[in-house]
A and B are shown apart, each in its own frame.
Chain A
Amino acid sequence: MPRNLYDQQKRNIANTRMFIAGFVCLLAVMGLSTDGVLYAGGFSPGLPVATLGALCLGGLSAWWSLTGGDRAILESTNAAPLDRTDPSQRVLDNVVEEMAIAAGLPKPAVYVIPDADPNAFATGVGPERATIAVTRGLLEKLDRDELQGVVSHELSHVKNYDVRLMTVVAALAGAILLLSDWSRRGLRWGRRSSSEKSGGLGILFVGLWIISMLLAPIIAQIVSLAVSREREYLADASGAELTRNPLGLASALEKIAAAIAPTPSIKRGVAHLCIEDPRGRAVNEREGLFANLFATHPPVEKRIAALREMAYQPAASRP
């Protein structure tokens, strides 16, 4: 089956819903198993309090991250607003304007990060409030076509609401981690009460509870990384749809990957937003189950190959 831009976009959007549903399920399982332990311990308030509490915590932290997350991220990277008197920054400003026209979106704010390593990221809550930030190194190393490719990739993150999704996913993963942390502290109490009151059922519930509290944070981490990786392919594809020139981004990715030094200005929490992993980690370039589960980005060779394939397809289908 041919895999063109539009197919890929549809598939990725379907996957996203599944990821969010998975997170809500994880929170619910953690809450339910806690309720089970409470019930077995003889404490039954009539409502599944722990489940409701877990879901509320998830919702609250997601809402909190959406109201001020982008400002905090920009401040953490020392990004400064674009300066149009500098010729290379003026080119960047024009390229962003061009791509915003191509995407039919309002022009996002543009920031420059004082860092020699080439990298870029987008943040915000959606097309109405978005920021694209690129490093000074990126402006120096890329030509206009390549810069256009990178900006189209970042603008696609905005257009596809990835910036919002990634913020929410990070917040939900944080909530799960917090819950698991709390319950480990409550573990002693749970063990004592269940052994005192009920027999087999209580032990079963406690076992389930311990397993869910230990596994949930690991699953949350793996899922949030998977969301990030899927989104990179989607942004590559819809970026190419804007420029109609997948090779520009392919060659930009080659240059960015060639500069393997880490980007010191970009902190760990922002890694999943960047066009390429800013930590200069080797795990993203490796294949295999472990590397696939724990990388924030797909291997850059795979992305370049996918882009080259897109460039090939329209040529092949032309009469």
Chain B
Amino acid sequence: MAFVGGCLTILVVGAVFLAIWAIWRYNDLVSLRNQVANGWKQIDVQLKRRHDLIPNLVAAVKGEMQFEQDTLEKVIQARNAAASAHGVADAAGKENALTQTLGRLFALAENYPNLKANESVKSLMEELSSTENRIGFARQFYNDIATRYNTAQQIFPDNFIAQAFKFQPVELFEIQDAAERAVPKVDLSLRPSP
């Protein structure tokens, strides 16, 4: 009788510990999933900031750069296309196109010494170049947290919890364009040339 009682106690204690462990792992996974969702939203916040800044910049440089109407037009078009994109793949493609037209605009702006001296253009350029960095860092943070989330789902024995409650691995953000991968950093700040 005492033997059966002892076995039962061990079983009950074991079951309680198992339940506590399962709850703990489940809560960790939920918290990570929310952080991943938040990380994704952060990228959107910065992209929105970029879309808001571009019309201001174009308006500020329009007077000086009247012979570059074609480029300015393309920037605005790319901006509008990116702002109205639907879906992740669509948005990624259009944002990349916008980055390229912006890069062209910044390169052309180098030819206008008056723009480099203009305080409001300089500060808009600084804000936009900071926004480009923020987008990059927001993507980097998203990839870090998504990697942690995926790892937490795959390691043993946590993978049982992940499978039982149908946690899905998320995709990491990747650069689609091979050319962009080759050029890891674009300096958009207008430094006075020495």
Contact = CB atoms under 8 A, between A and B. Distances in A.
Interface of A: 87, 90-91, 94-95, 97-99, 101-104, 144, 242, 244
A5 to B, nearest CB: 12
B138 interface: yes
Sort chain B's interface into a size bin.
Answer: 10 to 19
Contact of B122 (A87, A94, A99): A87
A97 B189 contact: no
Contacts, number: 38
Interface string B76-94: 0000000000000000000
A191 to B, nearest CB: 55
A104 B123 contact: no
Interface stretch (B16-24, B105-113, B127-135): B127-135
24 contacts: A87-B122, A87-B123, A87-B126, A90-B123, A90-B126, A91-B130, A94-B126, A94-B127, A94-B130, A94-B133, A98-B133, A98-B134, A98-B137, A101-B46, A101-B137, A101-B141, A102-B138, A102-B141, A104-B39, A104-B141, A104-B144, A104-B145, A144-B189, A244-B140
A97 B134 contact: yes
A94 B53 CA distance: 15
* Leading 4 A-B pairs by shortest Cβ distance: A94-B130, A102-B137, A101-B137, A98-B133
Contacts of B46: 101
Contacts of B130: 91, 94-95, 97-98
A44 B145 CA distance: 57
B126 A91 contact: yes
B33 to A, nearest CB: 15
Contacts of B122: 87
A103 B127 contact: no
Given A87-B126, A98-B130, A102-B141, 8 more contacts: A91-B130, A94-B126, A94-B130, A94-B133, A98-B133, A98-B137, A101-B141, A244-B140
A98 B139 CA distance: 12
Nearest to B132: A98
B126 A103 contact: no
A101 B42 contact: yes
Given A97-B134, A144-B189, A102 B140 contact: yes
A87 B189 CA distance: 13
A94 to B, nearest CB: 4
